[in-house]
Structure 1
Amino acid sequence: MIKILLVEDDLQLQEIIEDYFTAKSAGEIELVCAADGADGLTHAQEKDYDLVLLDVMLPEVDGFTICRELRRHSDVPIMFLTARQAEADRLHGYGLGGDDYMVKPFSLAELYAKANSLIRRAKGMIRDDLMSVGRISLDPYRGTASVDGREVELAPKEYALLKLLMENAGKIVTRETLLVRIWGYDFSGSDRVVDNHIKKLRQTLEEGAEQIKTVVKSGYRLEERK
């Protein structure tokens, strides 16, 4: 039996999702529902779930706060379901450790497919709690970064840039790749936006800034410095 926690204050949508998942899985998926953030957080902390479907705008406690709290002790897959479609909101959700993000209104079939994909992936993955390159460390499930053990506060895009560079440590990551992965295919601005955000990232990292190397006419590379 697969157990999914759905935290959603729209009771009609809650019922629709529950009925669809139950019918589609032939009863193999049990959906536990909570109508406010406080109740949802309590459920998530007291029981084990295979997936958490999480609205962002909730009474009592918002979805981003729930995600942040869960990532302090759990790597359960989290998918945000929300009407908030701004890029900053999506990046913030990913930065906090969310695994996926669906904007309302959405297809129930796509939601079901993504939910199953996240569950399968989580059951087959062994996750490291911490990514470390030289003096820089990043906890992708708490959404935090630190230099020499001191936590630093990163804006959503700077966090996303650092995470992508750390995932490709020692390799050149082109400006085009950074633009597509972080700003999206439909971004119409100049690639100078990457340089500006890298500058801000370096300023925030302070002693760790020297690890980010500029590769002329190409992009950036994160190097390890002992």
Structure 2
Amino acid sequence: MPLPPDGYRSAQMPSVLLIEDDAPIRTSLTRSLRDRGHAVSSVSTALDGLRSVVEDRPDLIVLDLGLPDMDGADLLRMLRAVSRVPVIVATARDGEADMVRLLDAGADDYVVKPYSAAQLDARIRAVLRRVDTGRADTSLTVGTLRVDPGAREATLDGAALDLTPREFDLLHYLAARAGQVVTKRELLTEVWRIPYGGTDKTVDVHLSWLRRKLGETAQRPRYLQTVRGVGVRLTVPPSPAE
């Protein structure tokens, strides 16, 4: 299946695809989101959702995990193979491990049932604002590291970096604040969208993976400099003479 292009926002109202198998919830959310200015379509199965993404190209997906034909987590991975459309996971699963796993797999936000239509509407608007801002961003260059948020690509010394969606988000956030110390709590809030709870270990693990792909280690850093007791910053590496 071809990859739907980015930048297909409706000129009048954002289109939202609701993938939810519970008929009463689906009907109620569809009505409430339409009342709040969204063009809403809905399906009850994962395969119908995948087909709709490819054919209709919605601006955003609200994805339930407990679908009858496929777990929503598996559908998310399939969606990320064919589309960059923003996805908000809406589920009764409230465990931190599930939340981190789905956000790492490419979800843009995670909301736990029960939630109000007003809360979901606010999250939809927030995600779409971030998407629009990302499309307007120009490429960021730090030393020989280049981060292109529009294409979601990063290169080092001209070679493409093989980054997961969360690794790219982490690198982009740090590159946009090059030279500034960023706390792990800020990264959890802004990159992982976990404002309450969460552990620094999540950030530490991803920083370790990112260091490896940048060709460095915590003991011999180049771009990622740890500021003990404070956080991390991305900087231009010192020249060999230094």
Q: Same fold judged by TM-score > 0.5?
A: yes
More helix by share: 1
Task: Give, in angstroms, the shift of residue 29 of structure 1.
Answer: 3.5
Q: Map 1:68-147; keep pairs closer than 5 Å.
A: 68-72=77-81, 74-119=83-128, 122=131, 126-127=135-136, 133=142
What is the number of equivalent residue pairs in this alignment? 218
Q: Distance in 2 between matches of 1:128 and 1:204?
A: 26
Relative to structure 1, is the Cα distance of residues 207 and 93 closer, same or farther in structure 2, using a 3 angstrom cutoff?
same
Task: Give, in angstroms, the shift of residue 97 of structure 1.
Answer: 3.4
Q: Map 1:1-226; keep pairs closer than 5 Å.
A: 2=13, 3-22=15-34, 24-25=35-36, 29-72=38-81, 74-119=83-128, 122=131, 126-127=135-136, 133=142, 148-151=159-162, 162=171, 164-175=173-184, 177-178=186-187, 184-186=195-197, 193=201, 197=205, 200-201=208-209, 204-205=212-213, 207-209=215-217, 210-225=222-237
Q: Distance in 2 between matches of 1:140 and 1:58?
A: 32
Task: Give, in angstroms, the shift of residue 40 of structure 1.
Answer: 0.1
**2:86 touches 2:107 (CA, 8 Å); kept in 1?**
yes
Range 38-47 or range 130-139, more displaced: 130-139
**1:145 touches 1:153 (CA, 8 Å); kept in 2?**
no
SS at match of 2:135: coil
Range 75-84 or range 61-70, more displaced: 61-70
SS at match of 1:172: coil
Letter in 2 for 1:205: K
SS at match of 1:80: strand
Letter in 2 for 1:218: V
Q: What do you get for the CA RMSD once the two structures are aligned? A: 4.0
Letter in 1 for 2:85: V
Relative to structure 1, is the Cα distance of residues 57 and 204 closer, same or farther in structure 2, using a 3 angstrom cutoff?
farther
Q: Distance in 2 between matches of 1:83 and 1:58?
A: 12
**1:172 touches 1:215 (CA, 8 Å); kept in 2?**
yes
Unmatched segments (≥5 aa) in structure 1: none
Task: Give, in angstroms, the shift of residue 36 of structure 1.
Answer: 0.9
More strand by share: 1
Unmatched segments (≥5 aa) in structure 2: 1-11
- Scaled by the length of structure 2, what TM-score is found? 0.66
**1:71 touches 1:141 (CA, 8 Å); kept in 2?**
no
* Identity across the alignment (%): 30
Relative to structure 1, is the Cα distance of residues 179 and 67 closer, same or farther in structure 2, using a 3 angstrom cutoff?
closer
SS at match of 2:17: strand
- Scaled by the length of structure 1, what TM-score is found? 0.70
Task: Give, in angstroms, the shift of residue 137 of structure 1.
Answer: 6.7
Task: Give, in angstroms, the shift of residue 141 of structure 1.
Answer: 9.0
